[in-house]
Amino acid sequence: MTDANGSFAEALAAIIKPIVKEAVLEAMNVNSGGAVQRAAPERSFLTVKQAAETCGLGASTIRLLIRKRRLAAQRVGRRVLIKQSDLKLFLESDRIPAMPLDT
């Protein structure tokens, strides 16, 4: 009886293990190759904090850029919202060109 129970448990583990592994990786936003995936932005507007996290800046820097009118934003009640396309446009503007390699 224990041999049948052992083989049943092994078969069940073989079925469940990949399912659980995939669920854990998905919860951690990691693909099967081990690289961390960024969750695709679902919202068209971001809060100041979300915008700061998206581009790797501090929230105070985002607020300063809005105050200096370098980054477009909308005020909705007490909240300040930034359109993702405006944030992307800001980040892509004023690019520093790469220096050509001396060959």
Chain region(s) in the chain for CATH 3.90.105:
45-92
Q: What does residue 61 show for φ and ψ, rounded to 5 degrees? A: -65, -40
pLDDT reported for residue 8: 83
pLDDT reported for residue 17: 86
Q: What is the pLDDT of residues 80-89, one digit of tens each?
A: 999 999 999 9
pLDDT reported for residue 30: 60
* Fold topology of 45-92: Molybdopterin biosynthesis moea protein, domain 2 (3.90.105)
Cβ pair 63, 48 in contact under 8 A? yes
What the block records as the tokens of 69 is 């009118």
> Does residue 34 carry a pLDDT above 70?
no
